[in-house]
Amino acid sequence: MPRIARKDNETSFYHVMVQGLAKEIIFEKKEFKYVYLKRIKRYKTDNVKIYAYCIMPNHAHLLVYTENVNNLSLLMKKINLSYAVYYNKVLERVGYVFRDRYKTQGIHSTEHLISCLNYIHNNPVKAGLEKQARDYPFSSYPEYLLFGLKKTGSIIDIKEFLEITKLSIKEILELNQKEYNDDWMDEKPSKGFAQLVDEFIKDNNLNDIREVKTNRKLFMCLIDKINKESSLSLRKISENLGISRKRIHGDV
């Protein structure tokens, strides 16, 4: 059975996140979320154990265990590449879908492991999508609620997680409200498009947005500001600016 490592550099437990390019919503439809879960199930092997997941509109979380991080890298590469091909085909688009391959945070204690599980399951509540974690169908929380009932085909190993933490399913559910902050994953408070543009124009002593659109350097600085300080998708940014997404990428 897997054990929590005593030293930071020995951990085999990871909190994994993938996110849409420029925070673009890449799991907008229910169908897209189901497809991503199916990709996880298709490519998952015994080399990587999954204890929790949550598919949000523009990102996804996984809580995993692997003795070799290369196994995780290979798994995420297969999942994301396959989903990107599907996503681009369905929407008749080309280019990157994900912001990075994926991000990871090592987990070094049982308490951290439990807190991470809670963070993942409470993501929809924190984002205002649901009032209770139990109501969100695209996370593993409902599976924890139904643990013990006959079910096949799950991608998560609840029994092993309970053995590692030495907690009962009742205790796990009771601890679900415990706060856990993972600042490197959290979205920054979102500002409106008009506010960001006004701030940029004022900070750079410009007259209006036309000066930005005709200066490539200023234009890219504005795009960088919008990406960092808002949750606007690439599509919304291009619509608000009245330009193509290709220009934002620098293709034209």
The SS3 call for residue 85 is helix
User: What is the location of CATH 3.30.70.1290 in the chain?
Assistant: 8-177
State yes or no: pLDDT of 26 exceeds 70: yes
Rounded CA separation 219/167 (Å): 53
Is the separation of the CB atoms in 123 and 54 below 8 Å? yes
How far is residue 31 from each of residues 27, 124, 131, 214, measured CA to CA in Å? 8, 18, 22, 40
pLDDT at 70 over 60: yes
* 122 has pLDDT over 60: yes
pLDDT, tens only, 143-185: 999 887 656 568 999 999 999 999 999 888 888 765 555 544 4
Handedness of CA 115, 66, 157, 161 (dihedral sign): negative
Q: Please check whether the domain covering 8-177 is classified as CATH 3.40.980.10.
A: no
Range of weakest confidence among 17-31, 46-60, 130-144, 210-224: 210-224
Evaluate if residue 59 carries a pLDDT over 50.
yes
Work out the average pLDDT over 177-196. Answer: 59
Answer for the pair 173, 88: CB distance below 8 angstroms, yes or no.
no
Separation of alpha carbons 176 and 4, rounded Å: 20
Question: What pLDDT is recorded for position 2?
Answer: 59
| Dihedral angle computed from the Cα positions of residues 56, 57, 58 and 64, in that order, rounded to the nearest 10 degrees | 20
At 20, the amino acid letter reads: G
Mean of pLDDT values over 118-130: 90
Collapsed DSSP state (helix, strand, coil) of residue 50: strand
Q: What pLDDT is attached to residue 251? A: 41
User: Which residues are paired to 61 by β-bridges?
Assistant: 17, 54
Q: Phi and psi dihedrals of 180, rounded to 5?
A: -150, 120
The type of residue at 107 is: I
**Identity of the amino acid at 39:** R
Tokens of 251: 């293709």
Beta-strand (E) ranges in 67-157?
A: 103-107
Greater confidence (6 vs 124) lies with 124
Alpha carbon of 228 to those of 79, 98, 127, 182, 222: distances in Å? 27, 16, 18, 17, 10
When pLDDT is averaged across residues 134-140 and rounded to a whole number, the result is 93
In the chain, the largest separation of any two C-alpha atoms, in whole Å, equals 66
Give the separation between CA 158 and CA 140, rounded to whole angstroms.
Answer: 10
pLDDT score recorded for residue 182: 53
- Report the alpha-carbon distance of residue 227 to residue 208 in Å, rounded: 20
